[in-house]
Chain A
Amino acid sequence: MGQAPGDDSALLVQGVARGDRDALARLYDRFGTLVFTVSLHLLRARAEAEDLLQEVFLQVWRQASAYDPERGSPEAWLLTIARSRGIDKLRSMRRSDERIRPTEDVRPTPDVGVASGADPSEARVTVGGVLASLPDAQRRVLELAYFEGLTLSEIATRLGEPLGTVKTRMRTGLERMRGVLSSASGVARS
């Protein structure tokens, strides 16, 4: 965990917990874009993503005193809140009416896509960076989980694969990502 910026952001969260609105504004300036980017990728509709962004920061205002730096960086905490609420929204949208799923897709096209994969919806959510380093099958499972908010069983149904297989691919993909991110953990595998 990056100590300097993490500590600084943790101080901002502590400020919010004391009721400091300036600290909340600075937290928004620092992480609003990241939260909004993830919200937009998850929900695909700008209006819904803006609502989610607002809800996340209101929740931060109300829950800041429950934030424990020992359990992760403020950034990871904010993203957990955003994904948790976003996935809830997505699932209730799917449950209530499939038609509600918006057809507009306002997500920007990533600067680099991985050219493999015939499914255009797959290409749309594909990003560069560490995810691109994974074998296709593991990358696809993680994309469906992280960017589409699907559950294990939904992913298994979507891909027509056994649950255990999806789970193992997911874990192996995460392990490999951890390997790259922790660096110096051994020769990167081809």
Chain B
Amino acid sequence: MSHESWLELADVYALGTLDGDERRTFETHLATGCAGCGARIRETGETLMHLARTLPPVPAPPAVGERVLAAVSSERRPVGQPEAEATLESRPARARRARHLLWWGGWATALGAAGLLVVVGVSLTQTREELEWLRGRVAVLQDELTEREATLRFLSDPKVRYVSLGGLAASPAASGWLLWNPETRRGLLLTRGLPPAPADRAYELWAIAGSDPVPAGVFGVDQAGRALFRLPALPGGKAFDKFAVTQEPAGGVPKPSGPMHLLGTP
């Protein structure tokens, strides 16, 4: 198995979605102390943290905090004996895995006698994996094609309006263009001259109706401050009279909080 394949599994594992034999195989690999996979799981964990931050926050009940503190006040934690570390696998699952390993161990011994069968089996498995991988690639290429076709359809629609966005005090040299279709509520944003955002920040586009800003997507820029970004379909029922770009925490926020870099009126 190539290391790229392990990294693929690391992504899925970090999401908590890996199950069955693949999960067992990956955890065996992880237990060898693979630094690359560990780093990938960490990186994906941080990416997912930004995803969590895009949810509209629901305040934690203070009563729960009080219950936690009351519970720890009456508890003596054994120093130097932490519980098993947080893992995406439950205890029953670990026990099942141990049983499975024993079970498979017996089979492996039996199969060892029939070496040829193993070779054929491995080869078949590899072919199946390759086929699965190719299927996935085709699906993703189809996604991209669908996106490009949607962009072309969007551009050829006569209802599309052109909105010029001007740089504000935070980046006076920046500029942008928004192609906006008020009927389909879709748009395409192009920028240039925006300063590259720090690692934990990104740009967020806002469609503003009166004084009510609606988040319209998060994007990154290249070294020249350029971006080409297709907006998600925005909710209907509002006539947007301004569009703005602000710099926000990397995952995006429900309400603007950072400095405004671009502003324009349809």
Contacts and interface: CB of A to CB of B under 8 A. Distances in A.
B45 A165 contact: no
Interface string A153-190: 10100000111111111111010011111111111111
Contact of B151 (A111, A155, A179, A190): A190
A111 B214 contact: yes
Interface in A56-95: 57-59, 61-66, 71-73, 75-77, 79-81, 83-84, 87-88, 91
A44 interface: no
A48 to B, nearest CB: 12
A1 interface: yes
Given A110-B254, A128-B215, A182-B220, A21 B228 contact: no
A-side interface mostly: helix
A63 B49 contact: no
Given A84-B86, A190-B228, A128 B217 contact: yes
Contact of A24 (B8, B19, B72): B72
B172 to A, nearest CB: 20
A184 B196 contact: yes
Contact of B52 (A38, A110, A145, A183): A38
Interface in A83-139: 83-84, 87-88, 91, 107-116, 127-133, 135, 137-138
B148 to A, nearest CB: 8
Interface residues on A, range: 35 or more
Contacts of A128: 54, 215-217, 232, 252, 254
Interface stretch (B61-69, B103-111, B114-122, B161-169): B61-69
Interface string B38-51: 10001111111111
Contacts of B214: 111-112
Contacts of A64: 82
B219 A1 contact: no
Given A182-B199, A190-B151, A168 B226 contact: no
A118 to B, nearest CB: 12
Contact of B68 (A33, A37, A57, A142): A57
A15 interface: no
B132 interface: yes
A152 B47 contact: no
Contacts of B230: 133, 190
A153 B56 contact: no
Contact of B233 (A114, A129, A164, A179): A114
B265 interface: no
A130 B252 contact: yes
A151 B58 contact: no
A19 B77 contact: yes
A83 B16 contact: yes
A58 B49 CA distance: 21
B220 A179 contact: yes
Contacts of A149: 16
A54 B64 contact: yes
Interface of B: 8, 11-12, 15-20, 22, 38, 42-61, 64-65, 67-69, 71-73, 75, 77, 79-80, 82-83, 85-90, 131-133, 135-137, 139-140, 143-144, 146-148, 151, 185, 188, 196-202, 204, 214-223, 226-230, 232-236, 250-255
29 contacts: A2-B199, A2-B200, A24-B68, A28-B60, A28-B68, A33-B58, A36-B58, A50-B61, A54-B67, A59-B83, A61-B77, A62-B82, A65-B82, A66-B83, A71-B42, A72-B42, A87-B16, A91-B90, A110-B254, A129-B217, A131-B51, A132-B215, A151-B19, A165-B139, A170-B17, A182-B220, A183-B220, A184-B221, A188-B227
Interface of A: 1-2, 19, 21, 24-25, 28-29, 32-38, 40-41, 50, 53-54, 57-59, 61-66, 71-73, 75-77, 79-81, 83-84, 87-88, 91, 107-116, 127-133, 135, 137-138, 142, 145-146, 149-153, 155, 161-172, 174, 177-190
